[in-house]
Amino acid sequence: MDYLSYNISKNLNRIRTSRGWSLDAAAEQTGVSKSMLYQIEQGTANPSINVLGKIASGLRIEFTELIASPPEDSYLVKISEVYPIKEGDKFTVKTCFPYEDNKKIELYHIEILPGGVYMSGGHGSGTREYLSVLEGILTVDTGREIQQVSPDEIFRFNCEEEHRYINNGTAKTAFICFFTA
């Protein structure tokens, strides 16, 4: 389940149960069927914007409250279940934790096949990137320096400007990176 579906399922369940509403009561208030509400709460449905609008209206909440990160202390991301936000012939980028107003960090999982290059734009004034290689060897061209990073190393750099991730090896390179301002 992607993070947006997860947020919706957790928030819908939290709001509904905090009001003491059964699924029947929520269905009556929102005009969305009990079975659809159940599937959304279970994370097995992919509701349309129209359905989400009905839910927000019926719950008398702002739409953003439905999709915002739920208040939680922990959350497990299964990278194999995250949909890529960018893909090329030789790279895949997945958002594990997106930037949010209440959490000033973004975390990504990136894979690059041998011979692949992923170009990244700058991430804004004062932004730093931290990356940890999980497998393979990664070459990072920050525009000011070129650094090779291995699995037992962590690299930090100023990422205000365009930079490149390069796999010069013969095996896939996978790494986690996060940004903070």
Are residues 106 and 17 part of one domain?
Answer: no
Contact 105, 127 (CB under 8 A): no
Nearest to 5 by CA among 40, 51, 33, 53: 40
Q: What is the pTM of this model?
A: 0.65
CA atoms in the 13 A half-sphere facing the CB of 11: 21
Contact 100, 118 (CB under 8 A): no
All residues at 6 or more sequence positions from 100 whose CB lies less than 8 Å from its CB, including other chains = 68, 69
Domain range for 176 is: 79-180
| Segment 148-158, tens digit of pLDDT | 999 999 999 99
| Segment 51-106, tens digit of pLDDT | 999 999 999 999 988 988 777 667 778 888 888 989 999 999 998 877 665 567 78
Are residues 106 and 32 part of one domain?
Answer: no
| Segment 97-142, tens digit of pLDDT | 776 655 677 889 999 999 999 999 888 888 899 999 999 999 999 9
**Residue 132 domain-assigned (yes or no):** yes
Are residues 92 and 52 part of one domain?
Answer: no
**Residue 73 domain-assigned (yes or no):** no
**Residue 72 domain-assigned (yes or no):** no
**Residue 16 domain-assigned (yes or no):** yes
